[in-house]
Amino acid sequence: MTYGASVPQNLQDAPAQAHGPVGSLGIIGAGRVGAAVARLALTAGYEVVIAGSGSPERIATFVGYEAPGARPVMASDAAAADLVVLAIPLGKFRSLPVNALRGALVIDAMNYWWEYDGAIPELNDPLTSTSETLQVFLSEARVVKTLNHMSVYALEHEARAAGDPERKALAVAGDDDDAVARVVQFVERIGFDAVVAGPLAQGMKLEPHTALFAADEDAAEVRAILDRFWQSQRGRVVARARGLV
């Protein structure tokens, strides 16, 4: 079935993708974030496939309404895309298709919420960012952290064309330079400036309970917030746990 993708109003001036898809995007997690990222990526010219925890048929109606133009698939098929966004409750990360994700370039858009995910000590350890824990589990994928620190509402409504003075920024953290560069390109295509925060361990600065979390700021302010991390309350907790103070 073919659907006509709608274009968010704030991106309607973005240049049209006249020469076919710019690449494929697989999304694992057909919820609020998965649908919003699908819409942004479709507008940017990506071929988008999206998976829930079951069969494609289970999410077909949801995808048809929420991300028209995206194709529902099994999670293992979404894992084969050029870029794969993980947008499931983080507490369920061990249900991800680890074999299918071997070699994948993975964007970790997930956050740990104990109220939602349950108490999972390994995801609440100030010595390790949750993205590093995910990277250990997906040992043969390249994990890059981004998209997680902005609300789904802001992701959708603050996306703007490059050069717009109101354009907001997303921080990006990852260990693999090529993977980070490709994710930066993706972030910039879907409507945000990208601010490279450093290695995956720096993903800690993007997590819940940080100043950056839920912030929708421009690139200069995102950089400044990242730089102030060690002076923040969460930064001091992490520093104490790591014996840095």
Question: Footprint of ligand NAP on this chain (CB under 6 A)?
Answer: 28-34, 51-54, 75, 87-90, 92, 95-96, 109-111, 113, 148, 151-152
Least distance to ligand NAP, CB of residue 77, Å: 11
Quote the radius of gyration of the chain (alpha carbons, Å): 17
CB of 244 to ligand NAP, least distance (A): 27
Helices (H) and strands (E) in the chain, counts: 9, 8
CB of 43 to ligand NAP, least distance (A): 18
Q: Report how far residue 227's alpha carbon sits from residue 150's, in angstroms, rounded to the nearest whole number.
A: 18
137/239 with CB nearer ligand NAP: 137
Alpha helices in 16-151, H assignment, sequence order: 32-43, 56-66, 75-78, 114-117, 130-137
Of the pair 33, 197, the CB lying nearest ligand NAP is at: 33
To ligand NAP, the closest distance from the beta carbon of 64 in angstroms equals 15
Residue 206 CA to residue 215 CA, distance in Å, equals 10
- Using Cβ positions, the residue closest to ligand NAP within the complex turns out to be 31
CB nearer to ligand NAP: pick between 58 and 236: 58
CB neighbourhood size of 84 (10 A): 28
- Residue whose token pair is 């990222």: 37
Nearer to ligand NAP, 17 or 77 (CB): 77
When the beta carbons of 107 and 180 are compared against ligand NAP, the nearer one is 107
CB of 183 to ligand NAP, least distance (A): 15
Beta carbons within 8 Å of 74's beta carbon, 6+ residues apart: 51, 55, 56
